[in-house]
Every structure is written in structure tokens, then in C-alpha cells.
């Protein structure tokens, strides 16, 4: 963290005046940015140092804390807000003119800030390591962090409308078109809606309890959500195995209904709580379970068929880990203690260790909304709904920065023993 030492803004009698600036202080103080600063200094070397790297970095943090949509918005705020300049460490600079007089500059120029951001793009490794360090802090300081995880994909539009050509830095070369299908139920009728966007896709895993990010990846908009999610889990197992070891459950919507992902999670003892798509034919309501009197639906409902051909829905009675089978029993109105077993290997999409038709599955699946709320914060609190960013590298840098600010503020709240609303931007 790089706090500018000359300020006296945070004396007790002035705290009430500061208001939102306290949030900025919280983010700056708890940001593990030492390696980032070192890298920025190394890149700058003997270049002009009109505006110190530390001060420029602090203003970049401020742009996320106060949701500035563009560099110009940030510079305008710095120009009129002397307290913000002091907190960030921005001091006036004087430049001698041809006539011998000196001109006073109170904020960096747009060109100077552009150079700073170009240098920051070369520090993405250090920024990602800072993110991982903050996540590790959460594992060490929050009870149950990482045990229940949820995943989702988020569309991020490019500021450009289409792929550009030539060397114009404002052009877009990395993005492509993404399409997503939604199914809505209106008055009992299923309606399919399609949405499309030009840009990228954020693949995100968050902790369910605290709603803080654990892992993420940026790809082109057209990349498969379920395949990219499997790649993330495999990378976590290779590079950050503690995340996989701690995880007990993973919640996701039906876009992640993918046999390979389900099998991989179960292999590492992570229970998949993933909604299912109906890949059966319209006329196929149930299938027979092997050569038995049992049938099942694509949603995992299990039935017993009596001698008259009537299907009686069975009640879930727990998972047998030893035999990797789901146990079912008759409903109370039928006086029988007989237990039926269904091997999950019968269909790994339909049958999972937490049975799809159980109350527990429904209860756990509701926790998936945690990742949707985190996606909403990225749009609402960190400005990704209306941004001015082009290019995959810049998108990655800005997403990483948003998570760094969020996690740094959460760390500050934990240090103050305030563990409620850790994911909120407002302290």
C-alpha cells in the first residue's frame, strides 16, 4: 500500500467532513501493491517524473472507488477536489515558459495519464498476483470462505462497435460477437429470447457466503461458458490447489450443464449443484432405470411402477458415498421400508451426489444468486455497464482493478472487525 504521508486530512475533527474519502483511504491502505509499484518504477526508469508513480496509482484506485467512467471524468474531479488530490498525493507542478514565467499544473494531463495506463498494462502479472494474495487473505481470515462457490458468465461489451483495422489504438481487434439464449415462462408458456453483444465474456467464481471473487477469466464473447469454467477449475487445481481442496459445492445455472465439468468436480469431491437442460425428446417423459420397476425424469425425479403401470414418486433418502448411489424410499402413505438405489453413473447429468429433486438441492441452488449480485456490482458500482474500454488487455486490467479495490476494502473492514457487507463498495 502507498499512502501519501504529507496529508493531515484524517485528523479526528475532519473525518465527518471527508465522507466518501474514507472509502478511498480504506482501499489505498489495504491494497497489496508493492510489486505493482516496483514494476511501474522499473518501466518508467529515467523517464519524466512530473507525477510520481505512487500518486498516479492512487488516483487510479480513486477512479474505481468513485466510479469515474473515463480518464477525463477522473481528471475533472481531481481538478476541482483539493482533498482528493491530497489523499492521492498529487502536488502542483511548475513548468518554465519561453517568456521566463512559470505555469502551474495541478493535475496530470490526459497524455500523461495515458502513458501511465500503458505502463500499467505491462504490470498485469503483478496485478493478478495481488488479486490472488487478497483471495488468500480471505481464506485465512474468513470462516468458511471458499467452501461454497458459485459460477457464472457475464457479457462485457466493447466500447467499439466492431473489429477495427490498422494501428489506431482506438480500434478493437480482440472482441467478437456473443449470443446467449434465455428461456422465460409466461403464463405457463415457454418463451425463448436471444441476446447478442460485441465484446467479451467474464467467467467468474465467487464465494457464496461473502460474495467475493475467488477466480475469473476474460475471453472473447463467443467462448463456451461451460468449457471455460472447466478450464478455470483445472487451472485452480494446478496453480492454487487450496481452492479446490476447500470447495465443497459449486452452484451454476443450466448453461453449465456439462458432463465433463460434473465428472471433474465429483472427482475432486466438489458437489455440483448445476441446473439441467432437457435434452430428451418432447414425448419422452421418463426413462426406465436398467431392468427394474424404477423410472426417472430428466430432472432426477424417481418413480416406482406398480403392477397396473401407475408411476408412484419416491422420496429421496440420502446419498451412499461408499456405493456412489442415491437412496429412495416409498412415500409415507405406502407402508413399506424398502430402499431403492440408483447409481449416479447411470447418467452423470441427471444423478448427482445431492439429488436434484431433494429439498437440499433446491436450497443450495438458490445460493447461486450470489454470483449474479456480484455481476450486478461490476455494472452498477464499478461502471462496466457504461464504460469506454476497448481491447482485451485493457478489459482484463480494469476487471482486475475492480476486484482489487473490492477485496482491499473488504480486507480493511476485516481488520476493523467489521465482517458484514464485505462485498459492498460503500464501507
DSSP code of residue 249: E
pLDDT at 365: 97
pLDDT at 167 over 90: no
Which stretch of DSSP H or E encloses residue 103? strand 102-105
DSSP 301-335: -EEEE-TTS-EEEPEEEEEETTTTEEEEE--TTS-
pLDDT at 383: 83
pLDDT digits (tens, 9 = 90+) for 63-100: 999 988 889 999 999 999 999 999 999 999 888 888 88
CA distance 215 to 360: 26
pLDDT at 421 over 70: yes
pLDDT at 125: 96
pLDDT at 300: 96
426 vs 257 pLDDT, higher one: 257
Mean pLDDT over the full length of the chain: 89
The fraction of the chain above a pLDDT of 70, given in percent, is 89
pLDDT at 247 over 60: yes
> Of the candidates 413, 387, 416, which has an alpha carbon nearest to the alpha carbon of residue 401?
387
pLDDT at 42: 93
- Among the ranges given (46-60, 248-262, 273-287, 351-365), the one the predictor scored with the smallest mean pLDDT: 46-60
pLDDT at 381 over 70: yes
pLDDT digits (tens, 9 = 90+) for 366-375: 999 999 999 9
CA distance 157 to 153: 13
- Among the ranges given (202-206, 356-360, 388-392), the one the predictor scored with the smallest mean pLDDT: 388-392
pLDDT at 170: 58
pLDDT at 162: 66
pLDDT digits (tens, 9 = 90+) for 13-39: 333 334 678 999 999 999 999 999 999
pLDDT at 236 over 90: yes
pLDDT digits (tens, 9 = 90+) for 184-231: 666 656 667 778 878 889 999 999 999 999 999 999 999 999 999 999
Strands 249-252 and 271-274, bridge-based pairing: parallel
The strand pairing partners of 295, in sequence order, are 288, 303
CA distance 212 to 419: 12
Taken in order 66, 68, 74, 78, the sign of the CA dihedral is: negative
Which pLDDT band holds residue 427 (cuts at 50, 70, 90)?
low
Q: CA-based diameter of the chain, in Å?
A: 105
DSSP 176-225: EEEEEEEEEEETTEEEEEEEEEEEEEEEEEEETTT--EEEEEEEETTS-H
- Among the ranges given (15-24, 238-247, 325-334, 378-387), the one the predictor scored with the smallest mean pLDDT: 15-24
46 vs 346 pLDDT, higher one: 346
Q: What is the mean pLDDT of residues 394-423?
A: 94
pLDDT at 7: 40
DSSP 357-399: TSHHHHHHHGGGHHHHHHHHHHHHTT--SS----SHHHHHHHH
Amino acid at each position: 500500500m502507498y499512502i501519501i504521508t504529507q496529508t493531515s486530512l484524517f485528523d479526528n475533527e475532519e473525518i465527518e467532513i471527508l465522507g466518501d474519502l474514507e472509502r478511498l483511504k480504506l482501499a489505498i491502505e489495504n491494497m497489496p501493491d508493492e510489486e505493482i509499484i516496483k514494476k511501474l518504477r522499473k518501466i518508467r526508469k529515467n523517464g519524466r517524473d512530473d507525477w510520481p508513480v505512487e500518486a498516479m496509482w492512487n488516483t487510479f484506485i480513486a477512479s474505481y472507488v468513485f466510479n469515474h467512467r473515463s480518464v477525463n471524468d477522473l481528471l475533472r474531479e481531481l481538478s476541482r477536489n483539493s482533498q482528493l488530490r491530497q489523499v492521492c498525493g498529487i502536488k502542483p507542478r511548475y513548468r518554465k515558459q519561453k517568456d521566463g514565467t512559470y505555469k502551474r499544473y495541478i493535475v496530470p494531463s490526459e497524455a500523461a495519464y495515458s502513458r501511465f495506463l500503458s505502463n500499467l498494462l505491462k504490470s498485469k502479472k503483478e496485478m493478478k498476483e495481488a488479486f490472488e494474495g487478497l483471495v488468500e487473505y480471505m481464506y485465512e481470515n474468513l470462516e468458511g470462505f471458499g467452501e461454497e462457490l458459485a459460477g457464472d458468465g457475464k457479457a462485457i461489451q466493447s466500447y467499439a462497435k466492431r473489429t477495427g483495422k490498422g494501428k489506431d489504438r482506438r480500434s478493437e481487434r480482440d472482441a467478437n460477437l456473443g449470443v446467449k439464449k434465455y428461456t422465460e415462462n409466461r403464463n405457463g408458456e415457454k418463451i425463448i429470447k436471444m441476446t447478442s453483444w460485441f465484446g467479451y465474456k467474464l467467467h467468474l467464481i465467487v464465494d457464496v457466503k461473502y460474495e467475493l471473487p475467488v477466480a475469473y477469466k476474460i475471453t472473447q464473447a463467443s467462448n463456451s461458458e461451460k468449457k471455460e469454467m472447466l478450464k478455470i477449475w483445472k487451472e485452480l487445481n494446478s496453480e492454487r490447489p487450496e481452492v479446490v481442496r476447500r470447495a465443497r459445492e459449486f452452484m451454476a445455472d443450466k448453461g453449465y450443464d456439462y458432463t465433463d465439468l460434473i465428472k471433474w468436480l465429483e472427482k475432486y469431491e466438489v458437489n455440483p449443484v448445476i441446473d439441467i437442460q432437457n435434452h430428451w425428446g418432447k414425448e419422452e417423459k421418463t426413462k426406465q432405470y436398467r431392468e427394474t420397476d424404477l423410472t426417472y425424469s430428466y430432472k432426477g425425479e424417481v418413480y416406482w411402477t406398480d403392477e397396473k403401470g401407475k408411476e408412484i414418486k419416491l422420496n429421496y433418502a440420502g446419498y451412499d458415498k461408499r456405493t456412489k448411489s442415491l437412496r429412495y424410499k416409498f412415500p409415507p402413505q405406502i407402508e413399506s421400508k424398502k430402499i431403492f438405489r440408483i447409481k449416479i453413473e447411470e447418467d452423470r447429468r441427471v444423478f448427482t451426489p445431492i439429488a436434484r429433486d431433494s429439498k437440499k438441492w433446491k436450497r443450495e441452488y438458490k445460493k447461486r444468486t450470489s454470483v449474479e449480485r456480484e455481476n450486478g456490482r461490476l455494472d452498477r458500482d464499478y461502471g462496466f455497464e457504461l464504460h469506454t474500454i476497448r481491447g482485451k488487455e485493457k478489459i482484463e486490467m480494469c476487471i482486475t482493478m475492480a476486484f482489487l479495490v473490492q477485496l482491499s476494502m473488504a480486507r480493511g473492514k476485516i481488520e476493523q472487525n467489521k465482517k458484514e457487507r464485505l462485498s459492498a463498495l460503500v464501507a
